[in-house]
Structure 1
Amino acid sequence: MTSEVPSKGLEWTNLVLGAGLACAALAFTELPAAAWNAGIVGVLVACCSAVALYRYGAWAEWSNLALGCWAVAAPFLLGLGSAQAAMWTLVLVGLCVATIAIIQLSNGSKAQMLSRIKSDAT
């Protein structure tokens, strides 16, 4: 495991997306399930990204991947189809968070592979 973040810009993006989702929960107060879901998922995404910026670990990306997938699935599982704003906010932010996590995991594994090759060559 490397302690270097593959892309700090992407990690900051996920942090902002998480914070934005947590703040969006305030707009969904008429739908308690949507508000709680957006608030909790947003805070967790932001926290995982903040921790990854401080001390990177693949676990943070795996957590964000799972949270992003949950954000995409939650509107359908919680029956939020009638609340279009809440549904699309969760789906779009979830897709972005999950995609960034996949990119980070991919970049992290490439960096590990290159460092192993370099260490084996010496």
Structure 2
Amino acid sequence: MANSLMEGRKAQDWINLALAVCLFVSPWFIGFVTDVRPAWNAWVVGVVLAGFTLAAISAFAEWEEWVNFLLGLWLVVSPWLLGFSANVNAMWTHVIMGVLIAAASAWAVWDFRHGPHAHA
């Protein structure tokens, strides 16, 4: 039973790692590489997210998932806080990626807190 919980948590971390890679390459694929603020935001958050996700994959700690959750929330609000909401491609990329990252991280935290080991 605990093994399946570990596999589930790992799956969520692998999802976040894939999302980090997608976020990092999004300025080129979505076409906002020349817009400095969203491009750098995607690159920096992508690298930071990948780092924390790799740490969670190697040795899970709940706080790493909370950091990833906050990074996801940052992506959702960053188009307005950094002033690139008029760039529709960059704005929607950040919002959608942020929601997906926050959801995967929240799922990992929920799994950790409600799994069979949480009551042991």
Fold match, TM over 0.5?
Answer: yes
Aligned partners of 2:112 and 2:118 also within 8 Å? no
1:58 alignment partner in structure 2: 62
Query: For 1:1-122, what aligned pairs fall within 5 Å after superposition?
Result: 4=6, 6-26=8-28, 27-111=31-115, 114-115=116-117, 117-118=119-120
Report deviation, 1:28: 2.1
CA distance in 2, matches of 1:16, 1:96: 11
How many aligned residue pairs are there? 114
Paired AA for residue 29 in structure 1:
V
Unaligned runs of 5+ in 2: 1-5
CA distance in 2, matches of 1:99, 1:116: 20
Query: Bigger radius of gyration, 1 or 2?
Result: 1
Runs of 4+ in structure 1 off by over 4 angstroms are none
User: What is the TM-score with the length of structure 1 in the denominator?
Assistant: 0.85
Counterparts in 2 of 1:37 and 1:11: CA distance versus 1, 3 Å: same
CA distance in 1, matches of 2:82, 2:117: 44
CA distance in 1, matches of 2:67, 2:108: 12
Paired AA for residue 74 in structure 1:
S
Could you tell which deviates more after superposition, 89-98 or 16-25?
A: 16-25
User: What is the TM-score with the length of structure 2 in the denominator?
Assistant: 0.86
- Percent of pairs identical after alignment? 31
Q: Say which structure, 1 or 2, has more relative contact order (CA 8 Å, 6+ apart).
A: 2
Over the aligned positions, Cα root-mean-square deviation in angstroms equals: 1.8
